Structure 1
Amino acid sequence: MTPPPSKRARTSSTSGDTNRMEFEELTKLKRRENMWFEDGNIVLATDVHLYCVHRGVLARNSTFFKEMLELPNVGNTSNSEVGSIENGDSWEGKPLVRMVGDRDEDVYHILMALYDVRFYSAHKPTTLPVFLSLIRMGTKYNFSHILDEISLHIKLAYPTDLDSMVERTYEELFVCYDNNNDFQLLLVAEQCDMKILLPMLYFDCADSSLSTILEESKDLDLPNSILLKILRGYEKISRYATQRGIRSFSPHRKCTLSCQTARMELFANYTENPPYFSVHDLLQRNPIKVDKNLRLSVCENCEKASFDASEDLRLEIWNAIPSMFELGSWEDYRSE
């Protein structure tokens, strides 16, 4: 059972105080046992749990907390607000900071990342909820070390150079990857201004099926500005997918009758049954799956011409990705 606070928080009767936790609400909160340290010297309160942690740990890892905790009113009984954090109350004689507007799971995840070295690392996969929490809390409160780890981690799945696309993998980023992860991550990346993530996230979302784009947009209540960027990208990627078929098989390229016939049939098969994620596959140099017998009928010169044309298209698409979504050019991301 959670003990009562050492002194009741004083609240004013002004309308500005209507969103503040009342004494009765505070007493209903439960301790998060694995984040309640008996030697802790500050208590964080969400709308679900209380966390007794250490001022020094927060201040050392977050410039926001460092500056906030240096204010003279932290731990006193007069309420004040700093950003989205209400402070000035106490709990069992320890300063109480109310994490106004923060999700309980976000506060828990960031504290776990600070206190348990096994919880999150750029060198092992994590879950999407943890990743989203760390982005939200890391950017909001400037946990610089956590943000550095995230930046290192995301390059495996969301590269900013074409060479890295060949080795692109999600397995080292997420424990369980789902294509729909991209839409959730895009929304949080936009909200938190994680610019380094945006080009590839927009590209991944736009390379989904139209039904997926519309369903995810509805489920996540994506802002119209984001949805419009995705839809414009979807149109461009669809055209690039067609271009890949043309440049791969060049059905009207003059050659022997058997070679030209084979390429025409390969092109027809490609357009009649367009492969999923064709443009993604091109960027990662994954070959188009085709009828082996038809492929054998294509001559060596046409194979080389096809490869060269596809490589030119690959570079063209890569360079166009940021501008597809009104995000500048890749040069803007070199220093990120």
Structure 2
Amino acid sequence: MIQKARSIKIQNVSATRRSEIWYGDGSVVLQARGTQFRVYWGILAQQSSFFRDMQSLPQPSDQPSVDGCPVIELHDDVADVEYLLKALFVPTFLAQAALPLPAIGALVRLGRKYDFCDLLDSAVARLTFENPTTIEKLDALVINGKPYPHIPTRIVRYMGWMMDVITLARENNILSVLPCAYYRAVVHYTPLFDGVPRGDGTMAILAPEDQRQCMLARDRLMKARFQPGYSYGWLRKWEYDISECADPASCAEARSARLHFYIDCVPLWMLNRNPLDQRVWCSTCYHHVTESTLTGRKKLWEDLPKFFDLPPWNELKNDL
């Protein structure tokens, strides 16, 4: 840690500009790519073991300084450093219900790099809240019974945000986020190769390895959806005594219509819990269909990681 801390101290202070985060009585200046931030050693050291170790080091005689404050160069993106310092020094920043995904990404990247554990945990919590690991938590996110499209409440929504979540999670080993995020990408983004305009002139697009994973999973899900035990298995084969049906012709017609609907319209909405139209079924068949759908939905969720070549839920850890 000490060697790492020494490695980021600069030897020269080049042409710089002051950021808006500049406290006149601050005790240290952080510099990122020509932009300087004057803040407080004490708070940095309190929140980060990295800066705590650095503060304890003796300062070299040729240490660059600004107004008597040592200058520390960070080889990080300026926007990332600004988001990190806002989280540390602006009380209302983390209190916002939803944060921009770039801010969350900054807290993840710099939280890991500089050991800001609390900030890292708060950022990961937002990602995992929107992409849960249990079906009960998934259902708690549903608004008015409609799971698609998911509207985030802890992350500022924009077109393509889920693609960027996948990239952020994979690059930082936040593996628990991936099954849910991958599934949503498979359901919502077609084709996956084109990317999605974010609305600011840039494109959200998955890395080739993520595109490949989603395409393989899409094929697996398409094959599994009508298999026994999964959400639509009952459409392929009745698994109860059909002699109990009160209206075989009407229920057979309803079953055929539902089969064609899932094939033609929503082939991968396997986690949908919207109730079926009870009017087109007899009470016995409606009960069977409802129970089979809910049971299959739970099975899909339990198996979801394996469709994306990930470990089971209970082994899916975040390597932070």
| TM-score, with length taken from structure 2 | 0.79
Does 1:131 pair with 2:104? Answer: yes
Does 1:39 pair with 2:25? Answer: yes
Structural mapping, 1:105-124, within 5 Å: 105-121=79-95, 124=97
Structural mapping, 1:71-150, within 5 Å: 71-73=57-59, 76-77=61-62, 88-100=63-75, 102-121=76-95, 124-150=97-123
Provide the C-alpha distance between the structure 1 equivalents of 2:102 and 2:318, rounded to a whole number of angstroms.
Answer: 27
CA shift, 1:115, in A, is: 0.8
Whether the 8 Å CA contact 2:132–2:138 is kept in 1: the answer is yes
Q: In the alignment, residue 187 of structure 1 is paired with which amino acid?
A: T
CA shift, 1:143, in A, is: 0.9
Bigger shift: 111-120 or 60-69? 60-69
SS at match of 1:38: coil
Does 1:172 pair with 2:153? Answer: yes
SS at match of 2:270: helix
Paired position in structure 2 for 1:83:
none
> Cα distance 1:206–1:265, how it changes in 2: closer, same or farther (>3 A)?
closer
SS at match of 2:37: strand
Q: Give 5+ residue unaligned stretches, structure 1.
A: 1-15, 78-87
Provide the C-alpha distance between the structure 2 equivalents of 1:159 and 1:182, rounded to a whole number of angstroms.
Answer: 14
SS at match of 2:130: coil
Does 1:286 pair with 2:274? Answer: yes
Q: In the alignment, residue 268 of structure 1 is paired with which amino acid?
A: H
CA shift, 1:248, in A, is: 5.5
> Cα distance 1:229–1:38, how it changes in 2: closer, same or farther (>3 A)?
same
CA shift, 1:72, in A, is: 2.5
> Cα distance 1:280–1:70, how it changes in 2: closer, same or farther (>3 A)?
farther
Provide the C-alpha distance between the structure 2 equivalents of 1:68 and 1:249, rounded to a whole number of angstroms.
Answer: 64
Structural mapping, 1:1-336, within 5 Å: 23=13, 26-27=14-15, 29-33=16-20, 35-73=21-59, 76-77=61-62, 88-100=63-75, 102-121=76-95, 124-168=97-141, 170-178=151-159, 180-211=160-191, 213-216=192-195, 219=203, 222-241=206-225, 246-247=232-233, 249=235, 254=242, 255=245, 256-272=248-264, 274-275=265-266, 278-281=269-272, 285-287=273-275, 296-333=279-316
SS at match of 2:296: helix
Q: In the alignment, residue 260 of structure 1 is paired with which amino acid?
A: A
Whether the 8 Å CA contact 2:32–2:74 is kept in 1: the answer is yes
> Cα distance 1:277–1:118, how it changes in 2: closer, same or farther (>3 A)?
farther
Whether the 8 Å CA contact 2:44–2:51 is kept in 1: the answer is yes
Whether the 8 Å CA contact 1:251–1:264 is kept in 2: the answer is no
Q: In the alignment, residue 303 of structure 2 is paired with which amino acid?
A: A
Report the identity percentage.
22
> Cα distance 1:306–1:76, how it changes in 2: closer, same or farther (>3 A)?
farther
Q: In the alignment, residue 316 of structure 1 is paired with which amino acid?
A: K
CA shift, 1:43, in A, is: 0.5
Whether the 8 Å CA contact 1:140–1:192 is kept in 2: the answer is no
SS at match of 1:326: coil
> Cα distance 1:55–1:201, how it changes in 2: closer, same or farther (>3 A)?
same
SS at match of 2:291: helix
Whether the 8 Å CA contact 2:231–2:295 is kept in 1: the answer is no
SS at match of 2:133: coil
Per-residue CA distance 1:208-266 (angstroms, 9 max, x = gap) = 3331x112399567443333222212222333455567436457684421221232123
Provide the C-alpha distance between the structure 2 equivalents of 1:277 and 1:124, rounded to a whole number of angstroms.
Answer: 31
Q: Give 5+ residue unaligned stretches, structure 2.
A: 1-6, 143-150, 197-201
> Cα distance 1:196–1:270, how it changes in 2: closer, same or farther (>3 A)?
closer
Q: In the alignment, residue 315 of structure 1 is paired with which amino acid?
A: K
The aligned length equals 290
Provide the C-alpha distance between the structure 2 equivalents of 1:237 and 1:150, rounded to a whole number of angstroms.
Answer: 31
SS at match of 1:207: helix
> Cα distance 1:154–1:51, how it changes in 2: closer, same or farther (>3 A)?
same
Structure with more contact order per residue of length (Cα contacts < 8 Å, sep ≥ 6): 2
User: What RMSD, in angstroms, separates the aligned Cα atoms of the two structures?
Assistant: 3.0
